[in-house]
Each structure stands twice: as structure tokens, then as C-alpha cells.
Amino acid sequence: MCGIVGYVGDRQALDVVVEGLRRLEYRGYDSAGVATVTAGVLHTRKRAGKLGNLEKMLAESPLPASTVGMGHTRWATHGAPTDRNAHPHLDDDGRVAVIHNGIIENFATLRHELEQRGHDLRSDTDTEVVAHLLSEEFEPAGRDLAEALRRVCRRLEGAFTLVAVHAEVPDVVVGARRNSPLVVGVGAGENFLGSDVAAFIAHTREAIELGQDQVVELRRDGVTVTTFDGEPAEVRPYHVDWDASAAEKGGYDHFMLKEIAEQPRAVADTLRGRIGPDGRLHLDEMRLSDDELREIDKIVIVACGTAYHAGLLAKYAIEHWTRIPCEVETASEFRYRDPILTRSTLVVAISQSGETMDTLMALRHAKEQRSRVLAICNVNGSTIPRESDAVVYTHAGPEVAVASTKAFLTQVVAVQLVALYLAQVRGTKWGDEIAAHVRELATMPEKVDQVLDTVEPVRALARTLVDARTVLFLGRHVGYPVALEGALKLKELAYMHAEGFPAGELKHGPIALIEDGLPVVVIVPSPAARSVLHDKIVSNIQEVRARGARTIVIAEEGDAAVEPYADHLVRIPRVPVLLQPLLATVPLQVLACEMATAKGYDVDQPRNLAKSVTVE
């Protein structure tokens, strides 16, 4: 949720840190701060608001040159987003600085104990206790900052990534990780820490993934990783296969626009290497044997937000292809209702970031019940795939905009792959039927591209909708999750009330909302595949239009039945019914992005949101 960068080397630490924070700003942007050490003195600057405010402060009040530093962008959990609560936080003497991502659950007790011992805590944050505890432990730990941090970590409860520097060890940065992400970037004569690799990708593509409950000590010439108990820890070095330009805007006004445009490539990359010449699927990271896959008698999907909508779509694909009963649940609700899980239940955790705490906790609950867990994830080596039995990576590349676009499309592709793969292994459908669908799947990059070529009128339409008080989205079958996704995009980007409904529910209540001029977006199923459903939704369009709604209809090419009832018609290519969401979602992404732009809102960093929600 917060962005963290650490650096030790020969360059100006502040330049590296601020550049890293810029790349991580999508993680949180309530406030930002930095700390550096120069000649045995700790220096900090911090400011509420976006990173630009901190940069302005640094320009007005520069820090002395330093080759050791760290920085933070915050998404507030404890304490308002003010200068005072911005990170770094210091001990009483201003010798130790700490930045933090996560929540320290026992901070109130620790704070009380520290105050009893005479410490003066100046912020409302949970983080500040760590600075004071580190200060207390520094001498007893033999002035070894890593050892002091290990001692402190053993006393903390909750989820945290911590990074700290100390005025008296000016060539060291230390970090700790429990349940929140932290990655080491390994350079030549310099080393980095980051909440994710975007923080240091401009400098090195060699990374080390820290595991749970590990402490890292970073020096110019080396990296030492231990457990919280001080034992040498096993680490996984890896090479990052995307470069800095992939995380830049590449000429687009917003990352979101760039990421929408990247969808054909993202879908193609997610399919690449997984379809054999005979149409058979190969999922190399599946890591569950065919026998294990044959034992599955129930599938439960857990995810949040947009990933949950991909999960809803997975149910249609999984039940159709495999005939295995499939449930979909919002991850934050899952473990609190005592779900029925057995060894033969497969839990599928879908997450772009692989760090969403609600999804991670659902996954852990499933593992405690001995269920097998399959992750569908975009970030290589993140916590969710690491803790899962199997993984299918979506190869969307880095998604920076808070609103998920290309990650969603690739999640939808991945769930299709999983459903078809299970059908292949379990023999629930004929091989040629699977191969025919796989061939259709392989054409989707081109078809998404065709949709992107025709969205200009959607932009113009969006500009006419900015004064609407509410927008309704209707869909049936796989169009229903698309309707939910369209509504979510509009809420998070254009700060507008929007609701997605199954169109069949209209007459059970929502139709009362229809009034003159109310925009209603309708996703129309293919007339070919399920004509009854198609005809029913055409009736639904007529019903809302008769009551004054302004209808915006997304329908396949050649579907003439919708024409008389559509105030605005958006055409998408004809594809098999289960694949239609890959196309129908795209105009809705464009609609929301354009409405937010027209309203003057920050498209990439909508208010109150963070890219990865790493607290529950």
C-alpha cells in the first residue's frame, strides 16, 4: 500500500530514492518523505500530499550530499495524511529513521510501554513505535542495526515492511518483511530496496525476493539476509524480465491509457507458449499433478475488486468446461464464514499484485484447511503465488494505474486457460471442442485491437455523460460481471455513482431508479449462441428506454435486433460467448477513463485508493 525505496552505493542517494518513489507513487500518495545520512547526521524531509510537494520542499531546502538513503510514499492507515504523520519517523534523538508499509497491530501496547519509559511519541502512527524500539535496542545489539531490527521485529504483531537507517552506521540500510512486500535490487557496488522492482528497475534487473520474517542488511558491497532469529535465510535471486520503459507512460497522457492500449499485447503474452500446435494446452507452472487435478471436486475462487469480477467470469468457464461446481467469493468475506473446504477443494486466488492482504488471508485459511491453492497472478514472485501450490502467471507487464485494465483482461484469459486445461486433463470435453475454443482464444489479441480501433465515439459519448448523477450497467450471463466491472471503473475513476445489475433483476427493484435521461449501459450477449438470453435483454433495453433511459448498447457486429432501441451503439466483434467479456470490457474502460479526464480527475491515482491493498 505504501511505496518504499532504500539505497546504498556511490550515487547521490536522494536522486535514486526520489526517482524510485516516482515509480512507486501508485502504491500510495497521501504524503511522502525521505531520510539520508551524511557525516554521522541523519537528515529527513517529509510532506503531506503527492510526491511533487516533497520535491518542492527538497528544492527549497536541499539535503546535504549522501550515498545512503530511503524514501516512502504513504497511504494512511493510522493517523491522518499530514506532515506530522508522514514517514520517516524518528526516535527521540533523531538518530534512527524508520519507514513502514503495513499495520503494526500491537502498536498501542508498545506505545504505552514506550511512553512509560519516557519516550516522546510525536505522531499518530503505528510506525513511530519502531523508531523508538530500534533506538532502545541499538546499544544492547552491539550497535548492529540489523540485529536491533531483528529484536524489534520479534516484538511486533501484524503485517509490515520496515526499512531503517541510523546516523551511527552511515553505510547501512536495513529492512524487514512480514506479510508485506520487499524486494532487494542487486547492483555493482550499490544495492537497493523496494516495495517492488519498479523502484530500482532503472538501475538493475537483478533482484532477490525476501521471504516471510526475514531481515536484510544492505551495504555497498553486499546483501545479508537472515531470519528474525538471526539464522542465515534462503533467498531466491531472479532476473526481472521487463525494463524501465515498460513502466513509463510511453507518450500517453496517463498510464491507464497506455495500459488499455497494451491489452492486445498483454493478452498475447498471456497466451504465448501455452498453446501447442495441436491445440493442446501446456501450463508449466501448474505444479499440480494430473492425478491431483482429477481429484478436485469443488473449486472456490477468492479475489477482490476487479480480480473478483474475473473470478465471477471464471465460474462460467470452469463449470461449462469441467462440470466441477465452482463458487466465487469476495476474499475479505471468505474466512469469516467458516467455508466448507476439503483436501479435494481447489481454491483459486486471483490477484494482479499478488500482495492483496484479503486474498492472501483467504489463501492461508484455505491452506490451513488442507485445500490446494492455485494463484492467478501478474507479479512474479509476489507473496500470493509464493504461498500457493501452483500458479498461472498473467503476463500483463507492470500495471501502474490504480484502475486495473490489462490485468483484468489477462486474468480473464488465464481463467479460460485453467478451465480448458482442467477439461483437457479430466477429459470432460472432447479434445476437438477444446482445441476449437483455444483457436478462438488465440485470435483475441487481434480482436481486442479491433475494439481499440473503434472506441473514439465512446470518448465523445463519455464527455456528454459527465453531468449524469448515476449510471446503470446491465448484463446477463457473462455480461453481468462485465456490467459490475464497468460500474466499478466509473466509481473509482469518475467518482460517480454507478451500479451493475443482472438485467433479469431489473423488474425486481432497480427499474424504479430509471428516470428521464438516466444513462443505462447494456452489454448484449451474442445473438448466435444464446438467442433466448439475447432476446430477453433486448426486451430489457426496451423496458428501460420506455421509461426515459438513455441507452448505451454494447452489441456484436451484425446484431440488428438492438438497433431500434440503442441511443448509442458500440459494436464489438462476434466471438464465442465465454470470450465476449474480453471485448465488451474495453469500451467501458475507455468510457470511465474519458469521463474522469473530462471531469479533471487524476486518472492514474484516484482519490482514496492505492494500487495494492496490503492491509485488511
Catalytic residues: 2, 611
CA separation for the pair 180, 28 (Å, rounded): 14
Q: Which is nearer to ligand M6R, 307 or 520 (CB)?
A: 307
Are the C-beta atoms of 255 and 248 separated by less than 8 Å? no
Closest distance to ligand M6R from the beta carbon of 554 (Å): 19
Q: Which is nearer to ligand M6R, 330 or 470 (CB)?
A: 330
Instruction: Report the residue from 54, 366, 375, 402 that binds ligand M6R according to the rule CB under 6 A.
Output: 402
Closest distance to ligand M6R from the beta carbon of 402 (Å): 5
Q: Which is nearer to ligand M6R, 307 or 498 (CB)?
A: 307
3-class DSSP state for residue 57? helix
Find where cell 499530514 sits.
82
307 scored as a contact of ligand M6R (CB under 6 A): yes
482 scored as a contact of ligand M6R (CB under 6 A): no
595 scored as a contact of ligand M6R (CB under 6 A): no
In this structure, the chain runs to a length of: 616
Span interacting with ligand M6R, options 72-80, 386-394, 396-404, 535-543, rule CB under 6 A:
396-404
| Strands of the 298-303 sheet, one edge to the other | 326-330, 298-303, 345-351, 372-377, 390-393
Span interacting with ligand M6R, options 86-94, 203-211, 399-407, 418-426, rule CB under 6 A:
399-407
Per rule CB under 6 A, count of chain residues that contact ligand M6R: 15
Q: Which is nearer to ligand M6R, 486 or 525 (CB)?
A: 486
Compute φ and ψ for 8, nearest 5 degrees: -145, 130
572 scored as a contact of ligand M6R (CB under 6 A): no
Dihedral angle, C-alpha 571, 577, 582, 587, nearest 10 ° = 30
Are the C-beta atoms of 355 and 383 separated by less than 8 Å? yes
CA separation for the pair 18, 448 (Å, rounded): 36
Span interacting with ligand M6R, options 77-85, 171-179, 237-245, 298-306, rule CB under 6 A:
298-306
Peptide bond into 325 cis (omega under 30): no
Compute φ and ψ for 249, nearest 5 degrees: -75, -15
Are the C-beta atoms of 487 and 520 separated by less than 8 Å? no
Site map 492..511 versus ligand M6R, x via CB under 6 A: x-------------------
Amino acid identity at 287: R
Closest-by-Cβ residue to ligand M6R is 305
Give Cα separations from 469 to 91, 391, 499, 518, 519 (angstroms): 49, 42, 12, 8, 9
CA separation for the pair 486, 537 (Å, rounded): 17
Instruction: Report the residue from 191, 214, 359, 394 that binds ligand M6R according to the rule CB under 6 A.
Output: 359
Instruction: Report the residue from 17, 37, 283, 613 that binds ligand M6R according to the rule CB under 6 A.
Output: 613
Site map 256..295 versus ligand M6R, x via CB under 6 A: ----------------------------------------
Q: Which is nearer to ligand M6R, 116 or 608 (CB)?
A: 608
Closest distance to ligand M6R from the beta carbon of 271 (Å): 20
Dihedral angle, C-alpha 311, 313, 317, 318, nearest 10 ° = 20
Q: Which is nearer to ligand M6R, 186 or 609 (CB)?
A: 609
Question: What spatial distance separates the first Cα and last Cα of the chain, rounded to whole Å?
Answer: 11
Instruction: Report the residue from 301, 403, 412, 566 that binds ligand M6R according to the rule CB under 6 A.
Output: 403
356 scored as a contact of ligand M6R (CB under 6 A): yes
Closest distance to ligand M6R from the beta carbon of 615 (Å): 12
Are the C-beta atoms of 282 and 273 separated by less than 8 Å? yes
3-class DSSP state for residue 123? coil
Amino acid identity at 252: Y
Q: Which of 367, 369, 300 is nearest to 328 (CA)?
A: 300
Q: Which of 281, 347, 316 is nearest to 582 (CA)?
A: 316
CA separation for the pair 66, 36 (Å, rounded): 6
Instruction: Report the residue from 353, 380, 585, 589 that binds ligand M6R according to the rule CB under 6 A.
Output: 353
Q: Which is nearer to ligand M6R, 36 or 612 (CB)?
A: 612
305 scored as a contact of ligand M6R (CB under 6 A): yes
CA separation for the pair 309, 481 (Å, rounded): 5
Closest distance to ligand M6R from the beta carbon of 612 (Å): 5
CA separation for the pair 552, 471 (Å, rounded): 10
Q: Which is nearer to ligand M6R, 435 or 595 (CB)?
A: 595
304 scored as a contact of ligand M6R (CB under 6 A): yes
Closest distance to ligand M6R from the beta carbon of 209 (Å): 17
Span interacting with ligand M6R, options 217-225, 300-308, 506-514, 577-585, rule CB under 6 A:
300-308
400 scored as a contact of ligand M6R (CB under 6 A): no
179 scored as a contact of ligand M6R (CB under 6 A): no
Peptide bond into 88 cis (omega under 30): yes
Using CB under 6 A, list all residues that contact ligand M6R.
Answer: 304-307, 351-353, 356, 359, 402-404, 492, 612-613
